[in-house]
Amino acid sequence: MLWQKVRQFGQKLVRRRPLEARKGSESVLARCLSTMDLVALGVGSTLGAGVYVLAGEVARDKAGPAIVICFLVAALSTMLAGLCYAEFGARVPCSGSAYLYSYVTVGELWAFTTGWNLILSYVIGAASVARAWSATLDSLIGNRISQALQDSVPLQVPHVLAKCPDFLALSLVLLLTGLLALGASESALVTKVFTGMNLLILSFVILCGFIKGDLHNWKLREQDYNQSMPGPNDTSSLGPLGSGGFVPFGFDGILRGAATCFFAFVGFDCIATTGEEARNPQRSIPLGIVFSIFICFLAYSGISAALTLMMPYYQIHPESPLPVAFLHVGWAPARYVVAVGSLCALSSSLLGAIFPMPRVIYAMAEDGLLFRSLARIHARTHTPVMATLVSGIIAALMAFLFELSDLVDLTSIGTLLSYSMVAFSVLVLRYQPDQKLSKNEAMEVEKFEMKSVPRPLESVPETEKILCCSINTTSTLKSGRIIYGCASLLVILLMVLCLILAQRHRHLFSGDPVYTTVVVLLLVFITVITFIIWRQPQNSTMIHFKVPALPFLPLVSIFVNVYLMMQLTSGTWARLGVWMVIGFAIYFGYGIRHSLKKCDQQLPTSSSQTVNENIPSSELA
């Protein structure tokens, strides 16, 4: 009796949502977003104020002029995750992003974990961007606002509350929340305006950098460094020289710089939350994701090249690189253009952070994992009004009162976890049989394929045939289960490998026999399991976009994401633990009992078919 209850409880945790549309599931949200709207949303969300600051920090201390290569490596790594999102966007055109993809593939508990961490990432991201916007505007008027508030309304709780309440950030978040509640099309229009202005200013900065730049700054040597040494009355300081030239800090510097630059591309995933608001999501979402990452790469690499051409990399100011660079070349008034660009970038980035948050909350509430009142849709604007207002108020209060510097790394965990879950979901779902087949039909296909095996293989053990000999040409229930098991084991092995590479790399590279042996064995097992996955038949369902080179690209994406997660501090993981305790209290106290899957019969495996039923045929044309 006890074992049966434990088994039923375990089945609840791993129950999966089928891909077929629910009855009457035509989208209640307004389908009003074009491909251009999605590109503007992705670019605006990704190209925040970091484009004006990050290049200086990485170029000065980590990569020098080779920062252009850093952004290329980071863009290629991000594109791996982007391609996985693009396939799911074509396959599952619904709200929810990585939460929904996880629900379809790995089950309810992991889906809740993914969605709950996405909410944390968006809340902290929106609040921190709002405070950055306020600080940027305050700096333009000599920090008068913050000084007055610190004198009149100080908050004396260090490391928890900010030094003073930020009324400007509070007002900004509430204003944009009201805009989002009005409708997706209105929000998209404002995003396009701010993103367009930001791209125009970035183009101006890049053009100025190429005009005033000097190629000699990519060929610097020690004598140039010595001539730039500050005098006794000069308060400025120089960064490290390294070996000079275009790659002054070597290949290691490029990798360290690329790891930092990777987070500059975070934000494109907000496009995946528009599945029920895009006019043609199965086409627009893949195009929007790929184009937004490519445009962001051009902007980041252009700014990096212009900055390192205008002045020597070791003289770049880490906090305000572009204003100092324009001062260096004698164009001091251009710093005001940079300030305007920063505000436009922060505005579009803030909209991009607030926009997906209520969509994820709405999707979770609609499935019953969060309180159902959060899934309420406004009859006139067709927006998730309750989820928008609640998430906006929470983000506004965070920006108003709290010190967020210690919490920013939590956004990285949520983002990397969602990237990993989407890559895993693509890897698994591509090899599953079509859900339209019943279990009996799938078994018939499997028996037919087994009977059609050529006679020379009859002497080979059945397990070896299934794993390595590619017996079937159509995915079956058995091959689907093999993929689930192999992919899960592969993720565990990759986690162990990344943990060693991130935390014990010095022992490994010093030739420690124990760590070397463990890594070699891990690589052998990973190679064998990858080969087994590669030999399994894929589902042949046609969709608008598929990730190429399966299973290799999703595995590389998982490796990159897990490696970056393993580099985060123990304090960040402890804070995540606190957040997850709150989330699990909600899930086990409410969600597990109210989930829409509670009364549904779970299908044996997830489908790899696409959801077209909830999109009018005229919009798919």
Are 100 and 369 in contact, with CB atoms under 8 Å apart? no
Cα pseudo-dihedral 170, 173, 179, 180, rounded to 10:
-140
User: Largest alpha-carbon pair distance within the chain?
Assistant: 88
295-333: burial string, b at 16+ Cβ within 10 Å, e else: bbbbbbbbbbbbbbbbbbbbbbbeebbbbbbbbbbeeee
Are 426 and 98 in contact, with CB atoms under 8 Å apart? no
Contacts of 430 (CB under 8 A, 6+ apart): 538, 539, 546, 547, 550, 608
Q: Could you check whether the bond before residue 240 is cis, i.e. omega within 30 degrees of 0?
A: no
Q: What's the token pair of residue 505?
A: 């790399």
Q: Tell me what pLDDT residue 304 has.
A: 92
pLDDT digits (tens, 9 = 90+) for 567-608: 888 888 888 899 999 999 999 999 888 887 554 544 333 344
Local structure of residue 320 (DSSP, 8 states): S
Task: Report the SS3 class of residue 244.
Answer: coil
Task: Report the SS3 class of residue 380.
Answer: coil
Whose tokens are 């790659």? That residue is 247
Q: How far is residue 565's CA from residue 567's CA, in Å, rounded to a whole number?
A: 5
571, with CB counted inside 10 A (0-12, 13-18, 19+), is: exposed
Q: How far is residue 450's CA from residue 456's CA, in Å, rounded to a whole number?
A: 13
Q: How far is residue 563's CA from residue 215's CA, in Å, rounded to a whole number?
A: 35
CA-wise closest residue to 494 among 565, 445, 546: 565
Q: Tell me what pLDDT residue 19 has.
A: 63
Q: Tell me what pLDDT residue 302 has.
A: 93
Helix (H) or strand (E) holding 12, with range, is: helix 2-14
- Alpha-helical segments (H) within 183-262: 184-212, 222-227, 250-262
Q: Tell me what pLDDT residue 79 has.
A: 92
CA-wise closest residue to 491 among 410, 539, 427, 432: 427
CA-wise closest residue to 284 among 471, 61, 39, 117: 39
Are 88 and 299 in contact, with CB atoms under 8 Å apart? no
Task: Report the SS3 class of residue 33.
Answer: strand
Backbone angles phi, psi at 411, to 5 degrees: -65, -30
Q: Tell me what pLDDT residue 27 has.
A: 61
- Give pLDDT < 70 ranges for the chain: 1, 19-27, 49, 159, 230-238, 406, 434-473, 597-621
Q: What's the token pair of residue 56?
A: 């200086």
Q: Tell me what pLDDT residue 598 has.
A: 52
Q: Tell me what pLDDT residue 200 has.
A: 93
In one letter, which amino acid is 603?
Answer: L
pLDDT digits (tens, 9 = 90+) for 165-178: 888 889 999 999 99
Helix, strand counts (H, E) of the chain: 26, 0
Q: How far is residue 406's CA from residue 596's CA, in Å, rounded to a whole number?
A: 37
Q: Tell me what pLDDT residue 586 has.
A: 92
Q: Tell me what pLDDT residue 469 has.
A: 52
Q: Tell me what pLDDT residue 461 has.
A: 53
Q: How far is residue 468's CA from residue 586's CA, in Å, rounded to a whole number?
A: 44
The β-bridge partners of 608 are: none
This prediction has a pTM of: 0.84
Q: Tell me what pLDDT residue 1 has.
A: 67
In one letter, which amino acid is 531?
Answer: F
Local structure of residue 437 (DSSP, 8 states): S
Calculate the alpha carbon distances from 271 to 34, 188, 267, 293 in Å: 11, 12, 8, 11
Q: Tell me what pLDDT residue 612 has.
A: 45
Contacts of 405 (CB under 8 A, 6+ apart): none
Task: Report the SS3 class of residue 402.
Answer: strand
